[in-house]
Structure 1
């Protein structure tokens, strides 16, 4: 490969990619990951890690942890997926994107090394290996590694982290991970390692025992963060940050804790983040209270996170969010109800492997819908979404592109209205593109 454009073409079009094509690209084995790790001489053994899994909130939690560790003075790698605009968003060091030259160099080195091994990795397997190799070359102190899908068989699951964090479990990717909460929890619990403490951000009777049994089998401690850290509601600072008063076992421990990520659901993620940071402190990591306060107040500036209840316009208020399953969109609907508006307009697109009936049933019927589709093969056609939505009592029009759907929503909205853009990470990605 001689150019970055050629390299991206190879990654996107020559390798199976779950985000674009769906289950056909999913590998239910760590075989290729282990071969890649061997080819590149086990880069993940050269730095410390934190492993983050869960159905919802793992991206936000990963960015919050990375931001705090940066403020504590550490050189921090951050691996997340998917990206919104630029492939390089997946791999960052202290918030900076991996350089294009390093992406090209890694793929060329893989092609050279693979002449003998002759494996056919997926897009995700390649990007994980690329991240680990880049973090080693960058000599990071610690890397926050977000699971891509599931846990047990995810390509990231060769690391031995300082702490494992699992945010929550709900029904998503059921075709691959299981048809019940307990089955999906078993897959997520696969990241729990021997003698590595595990934190669960949100406890739930449907899966607590699954994690407890796995922790016992791995001879490690387990903490349910929401049973220790609580903040019932948030206020807003003049500069638009959320302000939480977090109590630990009834004692106020983080008064006036500011977070620049909006969305009331972030309080659940914060509980897991605070417990994870506490465990890191106990194991010798130098993380001051000031670093926690500064890191959480500057997540977007430090890490570049976007698309979490992000305000992208005013008069009318325009908000986008990457929530894409029933649990995530339930939280979004609750926040929409708590947000003032004269009329609600929703630009909605979905992928074709979600349980649409469950998702559509929770969406507000009084909204004016603009049904659309992202520019990926996995997108559910807008016309089909219109038909499905009508059966759920939702009314609106079909518009073939996200940009056109947003423009139409803006043309119909008054300054007192609210336009929400979401339903899929890829709808938000198209909006930003």
Structure 2
């Protein structure tokens, strides 16, 4: 199979969570552990940092990777989901995994994958770890896909574990309370491995303390750290919390012997986008009219994005909005401003919520607009309607953002 055929095959396998939802979820690590054994345990061949959390784990992972790159380390980066190209998930020093490596890996191991009915995510993790081993990376930043305890990435023993924050997201899998979700994400805490908590809460802090104590894992709360003296090229106001989390993590790593200077930290943070290719985080796509997209898609993330929108100067706000069908609209829609003009659309995936259903629900919350048959049609309509002094925001789902990039 060529690369296109390989990717098509990957996407056709057992349901992939990002596309179809709950039916793709596996509630144990047995298949991943067996796969790692079959591949010769590539996860044991490189140092790593494990990053979990409801929001901010992607930005945090990319900032960490950028700093390590600036310090001269050969740095692997595994994240999910991708926006445009599957290979965005697996990078070394900002360069995506070669198409040939993807194709050959799948071709060489396809009989095993089919026999053991591996999921898209399990195969992707196996591919990433195998690639990082083959390229002899010095360190790999590994972002959790969802949760932590049962996530396929949770077979690594990292230098440090990071949990950015806890919010109500993926409740059908992780639990309906902050404490329950914290318990799942706290599952990445390992014996005697330092853990950094980016943002704590009265409901989550006791959970983290209990798990850390059980594993004799030193715990650091980034929010109580020193005042941040660094700046980053990721401009969302929500990045300030992620920045403190990154700095707390780097402080621990420096004590463990990693050679990272103050200059490396500042240069890495200022060049995260350039070094890693990160997209979709308060990304400005156009000026006059100003167009901004952001992948925030849950309550906590959208609260921060809506807060940031208020700081922008514009005459009229246009919002291109689409969501997935398992989103609790009663929690999400009240966050959006009633004064905006809306362009409702469906992301082009099976999980996408029909634009007509989104429009009907939005009217209950006095959000006024029209429905469109696609994200691109919605964006085009917004762009035609907007004047140079207006602002267009595109979001509600990672998949909506992916279609305009």
TM, length-normalised to structure 2: 0.99
Superposed, which structure 2 residues align to 1:135-174 within 5 Å? Answer: 135-174=132-171
CA distance in 1, matches of 2:14, 2:140: 25
Counterpart residue number, 1:196: 193
Superposed, which structure 2 residues align to 1:220-369 within 5 Å? Answer: 220-230=217-227, 246=228, 254=229, 257-369=230-342
Counterpart residue number, 1:47: 46
CA distance in 1, matches of 2:203, 2:319: 32
CA distance in 1, matches of 2:9, 2:195: 37
Matched, 1:426 2:399: yes
* Conserved 8 A contact 2:113-2:123: no
Q: CA RMSD in A?
A: 0.9
Stretches of structure 2 lacking an aligned partner (at least 5 in a row) = none
Stretches of structure 1 lacking an aligned partner (at least 5 in a row) = 231-245, 247-253
Cα-to-partner distance string for 1:249-308 (whole Å, 9 max, x where unaligned):
xxxxx3xx2311111110000010000000000000001111001100100110000000
Matched, 1:5 2:7: no
Matched, 1:36 2:35: yes
CA distance in 1, matches of 2:4, 2:142: 26
Counterpart residue number, 2:173: 176
CA distance in 2, matches of 1:114, 1:377: 24
Q: Secondary structure at the match of 1:319?
A: strand
Which moves more between the two structures, 204-213 or 326-335?
204-213
Post-superposition offset of 1:392: 1.2
- One of 378, 388, 402 as aligned partner of 1:415: 388
Counterpart residue number, 1:85: 84
CA distance in 2, matches of 1:93, 1:282: 24
Cα-to-partner distance string for 1:306-365 (whole Å, 9 max, x where unaligned):
000000001111000000000000000100011111100000000011111100011111
Post-superposition offset of 1:110: 1.4
CA distance in 1, matches of 2:177, 2:217: 25
Post-superposition offset of 1:180: 0.6
Cα-to-partner distance string for 1:96-138 (whole Å, 9 max, x where unaligned):
00000000111012124457xx200111111001000000001
Post-superposition offset of 1:15: 3.1
Superposed, which structure 2 residues align to 1:14-33 within 5 Å? Answer: 14-33=13-32
Q: Secondary structure at the match of 2:231?
A: strand
> Number of paired residues?
405
CA distance in 1, matches of 2:32, 2:198: 28
